[in-house]
Each structure stands twice: as structure tokens, then as C-alpha cells.
Structure 1
Amino acid sequence: MDEAPTPNEAQWRNWNEISGPKWVRAAAVMEGRLAPVNDLLLSEAAPRPGEQVLEIGCGAGATTLRLAAAVGATGGVLGVDISAPMLALAERSLGEAGAAQAKLLAADAQIHPFPAGAFALALSRFGVMFFADPIAAFRNIAAALAPGGRLVFAAWAGIEANPHWEIPYAIARRHLGPPKPRPPRSPGPLAFSDADYVRDILAAAGFEAITVTPVAVTLAGRGAAEEAELATLFGPSGALVEEKRPDDALRATLHEEMTAAFARFPTLPGGGLALPATVMMASARRR
């Protein structure tokens, strides 16, 4: 992918130059953390053997692998993402698994001309909150679905419902100050935290039987120090650190205080931290 596509140029640059490379470096940890969300998503979507599935924002391919196993050799999965670094990792993972029924595409799902009516299911794990024009994007996705085709995705609920983000963000903001002002509902991890807003988008894009429900889930964290390190890289606190670029001494202070905060989270039976979180589970059908 050599050129930044429009109208998502800012997201293309973020996921190719900033967030995507970070994710690749931490992929094993991040995918382990989000495994419970994959379980929710696959349970809700219920992909069937032989189905054709469009995955929006496939990232490093963890969900793609599970979709490929679900649809089997007679089905197919097309994983779409704008991040070349993440797609490269996904390609390696699919190759190692021998998942020939899964293909990858470097493209902007908001504007890419997918084959009309080619898919029974469109699915996304945290990949749909970054569209510059979400109604246009979901219209494009709807056109790729067969009549009655299913849409299922997971998006993040608000920061107040996700203490694994809220607590380190409060620490970062106390030391670094507030972020630059942004328009309401700008593309980003929290853009779809309002259920009514998401319902309106999907209805305007040509979907029906729309449900958007907050679901509590426990993420599988690592140790407190490792979670503190991740909090300086990802989520709202990571975005603030990226914006403010603190020096090494201030980064060390952030890490120390975040480590102490994460140490107060409960532990999992097998080790690691239990991180309470809330996701918005959305489902709909193409009219």
C-alpha cells in the first residue's frame, strides 16, 4: 500500500506509521488480552461452514484465523485493513496455519468497491470506529452483503465503563494536561460508544433489525508493570503520551504511577490481571 487513501488519510498514517507498528511489536500480548472479545464476537456472528465473510479491520489476523476455521475449506474470508505492518503479520499467521480460504486486502473499507452481494456476513473487532464518514462506509459494506446478510461488530464503550483505560488516562492527563480539542465523535476507539448514534448510522446506511448492547467482559491482562507499559502505548492514555511526547523522566513517573494503579486490579486464577471492560456489541441485517 503505497499511497494514503482518502478520505481516511489520517487513519492511514496512524495505522501505518504509529499505532500499527506498535501493535505488531505487542501483538502476542494484545491478542491474548482481547481473546474474550473474539469469543463474544464469534458467538454473536455464528459464521457457518461454506459462508463468505468480509472482515473489516482485520489487523494482525487473530479473528481472521478463527473465521477461517469456522467457514472451513468450502467457505472464504476476506480480511481488509489499511495497516500494511499489521497485514504483513496477518499474512504470516495465515500462512503458518495453512488457512488458504482466508485472503487479505490492503484497502479502505469505506470506499473500496467490493463485489456486490458477495458476502453472507460482515464482521469487525474494533475496526469500524475509524471511518471519516461512517454512514458512507456502512453503505459500502451493506452493498457487499447479500440481501439479508448479517453485520456484527464489537466497538468500545465509553472510557468510564473501561477502567483499564480510565485509570491510566487520568494519571497521564494529570501529568501531561488535556489533549488537543477534537470534534465530537471524531474517528477513534471511543467513536461508537453511544448506542443511539450507532443505531442511527446503521439505519441510514441501509440496515435493519439493529441491536447495540453494552456487554461486560474481563480482559486478560499481564503483570502491573507490563500493563503500565502498554498504557503508555495504546488507548486514550497512549494517544495522550504520543501527542505530548514527555521526556524520559516523566515517562518513568507515568510508568511508576500506572504500575501502582494496575497492581490494585484483581488477579486471574492462572496469573495476570483481570481487567474489567465493556464493549458495544452491534448486530444488524442488510435490508
Structure 2
Amino acid sequence: MTGLAAGYDAELRRHNELLRRAAGVRPDDHVLDIGCGTGQTTRQAARAATAGSALGVDVSAPAITRARELARADGLHNVTFEQGDVQVHPFPPECFDLAISRFGTMFFADPVAAFGAVGRALRPAGRLVMVVWQAAERNEWAVAIRRALDAEGPVAGAAAGPDPFTLADPSTVREILHAAGFSGVAFDDVREPVYYGADVNAALAWVRGFTRTAEVLQRLEPAAAARVEERLRRALAERLRDDGVWFTSRAWIVSARRPG
């Protein structure tokens, strides 16, 4: 989990800064971080909310354990973490001023229920600010990985995994958020690269850990799996710069409010 957390935080370093600025956490804010992972964005919010607090929630028990360890190491006393499914988590009503998420809201089985729970946890006029991916075809990393995997045909294509692009369509997101009780839904186009590692070997190790990549490699015969890895290696090598392997990407910063 330690390496995974470091890799994920490094991958999204550019998006992290944009979320921080868009959220604009104030000193007295009480912040809810949705799908917080190991808590980088939660700790960041806690540092800004010097007279407030930050709560991070994630379904992964190992991630929450690591988040607590990192918060203790940072000496933060206004941050807490809870394991839970946002769709059914017993949030106190009207407790938070701001809900944030860095790519943590795309995997809800019932997004209206999940965002409805978030909305009820926000105070009147409370804000939601989240980063989500735009469509797969707009994300170079997604296209390159899909091509490498799908070249082996239906066995590779049959592998499933969580879909990170469920909130890519603005009309769908507006419909979900309006149904969940939010208003003033707005989108800012984000065009920032993602970082996959210092060199090709590090980047390949990172991509192997993706759910769909791992599923495909497990399903394929050894020779076919080796071909997939070689295609991935070539794709990563093509994007190697002096400061590591980078892919272009497109995302949305979505903002909305609970009516006041």
C-alpha cells in the first residue's frame, strides 16, 4: 500500500494542485474528502482548515490505515479517517462546509444515492468540488493501455474492472447531481499530464498494477502476456522525457452547491 499510495499521489501531482486551488479551503471550514485513499488531499485540506477539520472516507481498509499513519507522522490533529461506503455511510447531517474528491467518485454503484448522502452531510450552501476523468478517448494513457491490451483479442477484451469514466459526460453528471439535490453545477476543463514513473521500468510496474491490466495478464497465456508487456513497454518508452514518463490527460473539475 505504501508504494501504491506514493505512485498514485505522484501520478496526479498536477491535478492535486488544481483541486487545492479550486477547493479554496478556508481556515474555519469542515471538509469531507470522498474516496480519500491514503489521505493526501485530506491532510492538505486539514492544513488549510486551521480552525476547522477534515474527514477522509474510503472503502479500502488498508488505505485508511495508511492515511492515519501518515496523518500522525505529519502531526495533524484536526484530521480523521473512516472506512466506509459513501452511499450508506452514516454522516452527521449538515456538518460539513465543503466536500472534495480527487478521482474518488466515479465508482459508485448508485451515484444518486452517494451524492445525496454527501449533500445531506453538507450545510446549506455547502460546496462540492471534485476532479473526474473526461472520456477515455481524450486520455492518452487510457488509449495507449487499451490498445496494448486489446491487441490480444477477445480474451483480453473480456477482462473487466472499475470504469473510471462513468462521470465523463457533463450532461450525465448534471442529471446525477440535480437528482441528488445539488445546484449550480459547473465544469472546468483540465488539461494536465499524468506521471507514470521515473523511467520505463518504473512506469511498467505501475501500469501492471492497474486492475484491468492485471486481470488481462492473468488471463492470457504466458507468450501472449509477454507480448502485451512488450507493447506496453514500447508505449511507455515513446513517452519518456528527461523527468520521467508522462501521458497527456483530460479531466473535469466539477463544482456544485447544496441550495442555501
TM-score of the pair, normalised by structure 2: 0.92
Compared with structure 1, are the counterparts of its residues 59 and 275 closer, same or farther at alpha carbon in structure 2 (3 Å cutoff)?
same
Q: Number of residues paired by the alignment?
A: 257
Provide the rounded CA distance (Å) in 1 between the counterparts of 2:189 and 2:157. 26
1:107 aligns with 2:81: no
1:202 aligns with 2:177: yes
1:91 aligns with 2:65: no
Provide the rounded CA distance (Å) in 2 between the counterparts of 1:211 and 1:106. 29
Provide the rounded CA distance (Å) in 1 between the counterparts of 2:159 and 2:61. 29
Check conservation: 1:56, 1:124, Cα contact below 8 A. yes
Check conservation: 1:176, 1:246, Cα contact below 8 A. no
- Structure 1 residue identity aligned to 2:8: M
- Structure 2 residue identity aligned to 1:230: W
1:282 aligns with 2:254: yes
SS of 2:191's equivalent?
A: strand
Residue by residue over 1:136-179, the C-alpha shift from the partner in whole angstroms, topping out at 9 and shown as x without a partner, is 11111100000000000011111111111211211111125353
Residue by residue over 1:107-157, the C-alpha shift from the partner in whole angstroms, topping out at 9 and shown as x without a partner, is 111111211110000011111111111111111110000000000001111
1:159 aligns with 2:136: yes
| Alignment counterpart, residue 229 of structure 1, candidates 193, 205, 210 | 205
> What residue is the counterpart of 2:15 in the other structure?
37
Residue by residue over 1:75-109, the C-alpha shift from the partner in whole angstroms, topping out at 9 and shown as x without a partner, is 10010011001111111111100111000011111
- Structure 1 residue identity aligned to 2:76: A
> What residue is the counterpart of 1:3 in the other structure?
none
SS of 1:59's equivalent?
A: coil
SS of 2:201's equivalent?
A: helix
Provide the rounded CA distance (Å) in 1 between the counterparts of 2:93 and 2:105. 20
Compared with structure 1, are the counterparts of its residues 155 and 43 closer, same or farther at alpha carbon in structure 2 (3 Å cutoff)?
same
Compared with structure 1, are the counterparts of its residues 226 and 253 closer, same or farther at alpha carbon in structure 2 (3 Å cutoff)?
farther
Shift of 1:24: 4.5
- Structure 1 residue identity aligned to 2:224: L
SS of 1:26's equivalent?
A: helix
Compared with structure 1, are the counterparts of its residues 166 and 208 closer, same or farther at alpha carbon in structure 2 (3 Å cutoff)?
same
Check conservation: 2:95, 2:122, Cα contact below 8 A. yes
Check conservation: 2:94, 2:124, Cα contact below 8 A. yes
1:251 aligns with 2:228: no
1:261 aligns with 2:232: no
Check conservation: 2:196, 2:206, Cα contact below 8 A. no
Provide the rounded CA distance (Å) in 2 between the counterparts of 1:134 and 1:115. 19
Check conservation: 1:77, 1:102, Cα contact below 8 A. yes
Q: Considering only aligned residues, what root-mean-square deviation do their CA atoms show, in Å?
A: 2.0
Check conservation: 2:200, 2:240, Cα contact below 8 A. no
Gaps of 5+ in 1: 1-22
Provide the rounded CA distance (Å) in 1 between the counterparts of 2:109 and 2:191. 28
1:238 aligns with 2:213: yes
Compared with structure 1, are the counterparts of its residues 191 and 26 closer, same or farther at alpha carbon in structure 2 (3 Å cutoff)?
same
Provide the rounded CA distance (Å) in 2 between the counterparts of 1:109 and 1:250. 39
TM-score of the pair, normalised by structure 1: 0.83
Check conservation: 2:7, 2:206, Cα contact below 8 A. no
Shift of 1:253: 2.3
> What residue is the counterpart of 2:151 in the other structure?
174
> What residue is the counterpart of 2:40 in the other structure?
62
1:140 aligns with 2:117: yes
SS of 2:163's equivalent?
A: coil
SS of 1:201's equivalent?
A: helix
Residue by residue over 1:22-57, the C-alpha shift from the partner in whole angstroms, topping out at 9 and shown as x without a partner, is x54422122111111111111111011121001111
Shift of 1:250: 3.1
Provide the rounded CA distance (Å) in 1 between the counterparts of 2:127 and 2:6. 29
Identity %: 34
SS of 1:273's equivalent?
A: strand
> What residue is the counterpart of 1:18 in the other structure?
none
